[in-house]
Amino acid sequence: MRAAREAKVQASELVAARARVAELEERLAKVSSRDAIVPGMLSLAAFRAQLDVDVERAHRYDRALSLALVDIDRFRHVNLKHGYATGDAVLGAVGTAVASGVRGSDLACRTGGDEFAVLFSETDSDAASRAIERIIVQLEDIEAAGIRGFSASAGVAELTAGEGPEALMARARHGLESARSRGGGRVSVAPIGDATMASEDATGEDVAAALASALAERDRYTGEHSESVVDLTARVGESLALDAEEIGRVQMAALLHDIGKVGIPDAILNKPGPLDDREWAIMHQHPVIGERILRAIPGMGSIARIVRHEHERWDGGGYPDGLAGPDIPVGARIILACDAYHAMVSDRPYRKAIGHTNAMAELSANAGSQFDPSVVEALVGYLYGRRQAGLTAV
């Protein structure tokens, strides 16, 4: 008798659950289905209705379900600096990248403003966060309305037993806020329940500083050279009207632009004479090694991209990817010129410094070929101003 009663209760609950799903699906069919700015995405109303359906199904069949919220870092500056039409173009490009970066069974929408949501069916939080991390890396290379490369923060939450759609959304937002608070450009997985987000043992900046210190210990010139280049990049960034956050990223990249040299053999790194072709081929690997090191540090993706490209040339003849002109990240263009100037005015074991005047002439002669002309103009202007004020150039 007891077993029969339990079976009857279970059957009744199943009927009720099916009726609930049918009701939600009917509501889903009635709402507008596409976002106005990103047609490839669901509208928020359609997404929320589908979220209710999928949460019900996940609980009923005991399947994994994860939700991610993705926010464009510093999007307000895009609107303020370039206008709302440009902002809409950026939203469209980022939204398209997000939608195309997930599986056909996953759902994506723009939740409003510069925030996007992705619902990962039958996916745990680890797999969902890996998918979002891939999208964040891809965003660093997309272009919209003349702007290339975007940073994003994301929070991921996995559905837990008895949890409703609103609670799942709240935990994903908790993760997003944690990612933002740690500098952006990263993914944070929200903990189960109401636990406070666990803080990392060290921030990305702490790890980066430790790497820079380690490089300085191995190669004193490289460490001191990088530190000297940092201030120059900030002054050039200011002349080019970069905002404070962008200048900060360029400075961090300048500090770490040679970090890939930790993977170069000492015999090559400290060779007292010129390198041969084989040795140059090995040395040319250091930007890629540097990028790989930095991408392993949470939140350092945008820095890694600059480091990878700081040996590209304005005319496309640089390495490792042969990028040209504005396709090269502006931070990499700034570092290349500042790095070259400081190298020219510094003594090395295999050559003497050529002096400030000759270095200035070299920069000007190679503007438009090796260097971005606007960067050279800003750098030369800054250095000339220091000389006029009776200060040393660096």
Which domain does 131 fall in, by range?
31-189
Identify whether residues 355 and 326 lie together within a single domain. yes
CATH of the domain at 260: 1.10.3210.10
Amino acid at 25: E
- How far out from the chain centre does Cα 285 lie? 22
What is the torsional sign of CA 329, 332, 337, 338?
positive
Q: Please list, in sequence order, all residues whose beta carbon lies within 8 angstroms of the beta carbon of residue 4, skipping any fewer than 6 positions away.
A: none
- Per the CB < 8 A criterion, the answer to whether 95 and 135 are in contact is no
Residue 298 per-residue DSSP state: T
CB-facing half-sphere around the CA of 232: CA atoms within 13 A: 29
Cα 156 from Cα 150, distance rounded (Å) = 20
Question: What's the confidence (pLDDT) of residue 349?
Answer: 60
Identify whether residues 212 and 251 lie together within a single domain. yes
Token readout for 265 is 């053999």
Question: What's the confidence (pLDDT) of residue 197?
Answer: 44
Question: What's the confidence (pLDDT) of residue 2?
Answer: 62
> In 3-state terms, what secondary structure has residue 107?
strand
The top-scoring range by mean pLDDT among 100-114, 231-245, 367-381 is 367-381
Model confidence at 34, pLDDT cuts 50, 70, 90, reads low
Q: How many domains does the chain have?
A: 2
The secondary structure of 127-195 as a DSSP string is HHHHHHHHHHHHHTT-EETTEE---EEEEEEE--TT--HHHHHHHHHHHHHHHHHTTSSSEEEPPSTTP
pLDDT tens by residue, 211-264: 666 666 555 555 555 667 888 999 999 999 988 888 988 998 998 888 888 888
Tell which of 146, 165, 189 closes a domain. 189
Token readout for 346 is 């510094």
pTM, whole model, 2 decimals? 0.58
Domain assignment present for 68 = yes
Identify whether residues 178 and 215 lie together within a single domain. no
Identify whether residues 309 and 286 lie together within a single domain. yes
Identify whether residues 158 and 240 lie together within a single domain. no
End-to-end alpha carbon distance in the chain: 90
Tell which of 164, 189, 214 closes a domain. 189
Identify whether residues 374 and 274 lie together within a single domain. yes
Domain assignment present for 10 = no
> Is residue 8's pLDDT more than 70?
no
Cα 8 from Cα 197, distance rounded (Å) = 43
Identify whether residues 123 and 238 lie together within a single domain. no
Domain assignment present for 351 = yes
Identify whether residues 161 and 229 lie together within a single domain. no
Q: Which residue has the higher pLDDT, 55 or 77?
A: 55
> Where does residue 350 rank: exposed (0-12), middle (13-18), buried (19+ CB within 10 A)?
exposed
Domain assignment present for 268 = yes
Identify whether residues 174 and 237 lie together within a single domain. no
> In 3-state terms, what secondary structure has residue 376?
helix
Identify whether residues 304 and 253 lie together within a single domain. yes
> Is residue 204's pLDDT more than 70?
no
What is the torsional sign of CA 163, 164, 170, 175?
positive
Identify whether residues 168 and 214 lie together within a single domain. no
- Per the CB < 8 A criterion, the answer to whether 35 and 104 are in contact is no
Identify whether residues 318 and 175 lie together within a single domain. no
Cα 84 from Cα 79, distance rounded (Å) = 5
CATH of the domain at 168: 3.30.70.270
Domain assignment present for 15 = no
**Range of weakest confidence among 8-22, 180-194, 316-330:** 8-22
Question: What's the confidence (pLDDT) of residue 253?
Answer: 92
Domain assignment present for 6 = no
The secondary structure of 32-65 as a DSSP string is --B-SS-TTSB-HHHHHHHHHHHHHHHHHHT--E
Domain assignment present for 227 = yes
Measured at the CA of 197, the angle between CA 196 and CA 202, to 5 degrees, comes to 130
Q: Which residue has the higher pLDDT, 9 or 145?
A: 145
> In 3-state terms, what secondary structure has residue 22?
helix
- Give the CA dihedral 97, 304, 249, 329, nearest 10 degrees: -60
